[in-house]
Structure 1
């Protein structure tokens, strides 16, 4: 009998302790989660060209009278300087080497090549600049990529616009059901990255096949704008 009474008292005490330590459930927070998107398209103002120079023989048949890479590089540097461009706009991006094969005769001389990156603000300037470099020493000129000098500013603005769009969306959705928008609870950035232009001319490629060859005209060169696109997820309280 005593054992039963003691067990009953212990059970009652345990139930009391459990009741005191169990948290009282609060009313769930009413909230709405939405995604806002924003985009911005801008015309590139930084055009990056890859210029490849290579040594060659004026007398290819006998492999004599080599025009050195040093000579070609000096011509390019002088052309950049005469165009009024800062020297930091031109940098070395690679070095190559090859042997010139002429028919069945085995080549005896090693010819060097070097690649440069040149930053311009206008694609039309490349023809005037390259006209000052020995045609036969220019292997190719490619427009490799484009950028905008204010890209970071544009990225920040697009993100801000995406967040504002999320708030606006949450507001009109709640208004449609007679609810009011409260303060923001969470914000998550979803970075989609940038979409760079694909040129309508597949690749701006200048090739000099003979000493008297003239650079191709870049008039009519068309390229799309750079697109900055971002999404922002935001959660708001419902009043």
Structure 2
């Protein structure tokens, strides 16, 4: 009999605990989305310089690098925005019959906040020494603030949606019960390319850039659960 009373007591306690754990509030679950497109204001461009032979005279990588460094400095760009990416040397097969010398090359990375300076810089470098240029990546300087702004807008959009849905059945939105951020805030900017062919540039200065930079698009989604209250 004693064991029976203990069992009944345990069942009663378990039932009471279960009843307390059940959330009997009326709820509505909705999602909100906020999107925005921005024009990238940071463009990382790689520039590859290569030694070449002008008759019997070699135009060295040091000479080309000095021209590029001076051009970057004259453009008013900070030192930290101009770095060396890689250094290499190989036997140029095109000139192999004329000379067995190895021709060195260097690749530099320049962070542009104003792409108009691109032409300004390349116009001051020997065009025969420019092997190629390439846009490596884009970024937006106020990305962190923009992400915060979009997340807030997405949450407000979710609450607004809950509001007009409930209004149609004469109810209204109560407090938020849960808020979940959907991890879809990653973005991928387009990567237009610039390539300066050495042969074409041999007798001409770098052409004006006509690249149309597409915008970076960000999108955030927030899922939220709100309590339903009577009007």
Q: TM-score range by the shorter chain?
A: 0.7 to 0.9
Which string of whole-angstrom CA distances, capped at 9 and with x for unpartnered residues, describes residues 187-223 of structure 1?
1111321241354xxx22233425431211224x312
> What residue is the counterpart of 1:175 in the other structure?
167
Alignment partner, residue 66 of structure 1: 58
CA distance in 2, matches of 1:135, 1:100: 18
Question: Residues 115 and 103 from structure 1, CA distance in 2 versus in 1: closer, same or farther, beyond 3 angstroms?
Answer: closer
| TM-score for both structures, normalised by structure 1 | 0.84
Separation of aligned partners in 2, 1:121 and 1:161: 28
Bigger Rg, structure 1 or 2: 1
Q: Which of 162, 174, 179 is equivalent to 2:154?
A: 162
Alignment partners' CA distance in 2, 1:120 and 1:11? 81
Q: What are the superposed Cα offsets for residues 1-58 of structure 1, whole Å, 9 maximum, x if unpaired?
A: xxxxxxxx34652454234423332562322222111111111211221101111222
For structure 1, which segment, 107-116 or 142-151, has the greater mean C-alpha deviation from structure 2 after superposition?
107-116
Instruction: Name which of 27, 38, 42 aligns with 1:42.
Output: 38
Q: Does 2:190 match 1:205? A: no
Q: Cα RMSD between the aligned structures?
A: 2.2
The question of whether the paired residues in 1 share the 8 Å contact of 2:137 and 2:191 is answered with: no
Aligned to 1:224: 214
Q: Using the alignment, how far apart are the partners of 2:136 and 2:150 within structure 1?
A: 26
Change over 3 Å in CA distance of 1:21–1:132 after alignment to 2: same
TM-score by length of 2: 0.86
What residue in structure 2 maps to residue 233 of structure 1?
Answer: 223
Gaps of 5+ in 2: none
Unaligned runs of 5+ in 1: 1-8
Higher helix share: 2
Aligned to 1:78: 70
Name which of 121, 124, 148 aligns with 2:116.
124
**SS of 2:115 mapped into structure 1:** coil
Q: Aligned residue for 1:53? A: 49
* 1:173-199 C-alpha deviation (Å, 9 max, x unpaired): 222222221111211111321241354
